[in-house]
Structure 1
């Protein structure tokens, strides 16, 4: 899978610090993906763009890195605490990786901004990528 316009590559130390900030809960597949692609726009969707994905949000670098988006979302919507906003769609909705200590851990959701609702998307980050790119 290839992304265009990715931000500066993350170092292993960058990822280690990012993971530590989220209590070492980030799935290995998420970390691997971000070490290869620090945000950006998908170039090769499978049979169209089923999620209407606009792009992946970068870690640490860029105008609105995940850290800033997370802070803004949690300030406005406390129910999004421990939900990592890693991507967005064309309507401004956020794709979230659940880091909650419950049965949603590791699952992917989308937060519909207009409706203020969270909807289930897939069981894991790996499954999300497979649906998008395979």
Structure 2
């Protein structure tokens, strides 16, 4: 089980519906379940072993830079990332992205800011969470 610390204010079903409406697409069930339980947050300080320098999950609606704001900022600078939701980041400022594109819906990528390169991470949000849960 994945332990998340310092989550933002808990989301209601209406909050999540509003979030989905922002992207005009239904989101994967695992993503929805995760965010209705943990609205962003960090892994425990002693977390180690994931191949990327994972920092934490970005919140929806609440906090200084929620997903909606992060997404708008990201696609302003990198329009090729449209329909890729930034849901987490690493300690180097790179974003983990959930695809809402038809051709790869549900797949997880990381956007390497310095290289301006999109790297495949996992086939689904569930697989991503399962991988995080197994390390440390």
Shorter-chain-normalised TM-score: which range? over 0.9
Cα shift at 1:87: 0.2
**Alpha-carbon displacement from aligned partner over 1:62-118 (angstroms, at most 9, x marks no partner):** 00000000000000000000000000001000000000121x111000000000000
Question: Aligned with 1:34: secondary structure?
Answer: helix
TM-score normalised to structure 2 length: 0.92
Cα shift at 1:17: 1.0
In 1, the alpha carbon distance for the partners of 2:49 and 2:74 equals 29
Structure 2 counterpart of 1:99: 100
In 1, the alpha carbon distance for the partners of 2:58 and 2:116 equals 20
Structure 2 counterpart of 1:132: 132
State the Cα RMSD in Å: 1.2
Structure 2 counterpart of 1:55: 56
Contact between 1:54 and 1:90, CA under 8 Å: does it hold in 2? yes
Structure 1 counterpart of 2:33: 32
In 1, the alpha carbon distance for the partners of 2:5 and 2:57 equals 10
Tell me, yes or no, if structure 1 residue 15 matches structure 2 residue 34: no
Structure 1 counterpart of 2:76: 75
Cα shift at 1:49: 2.7
Tell me, yes or no, if structure 1 residue 66 matches structure 2 residue 35: no
In 2, the alpha carbon distance for the partners of 1:51 and 1:61 equals 25
Cα shift at 1:24: 2.9
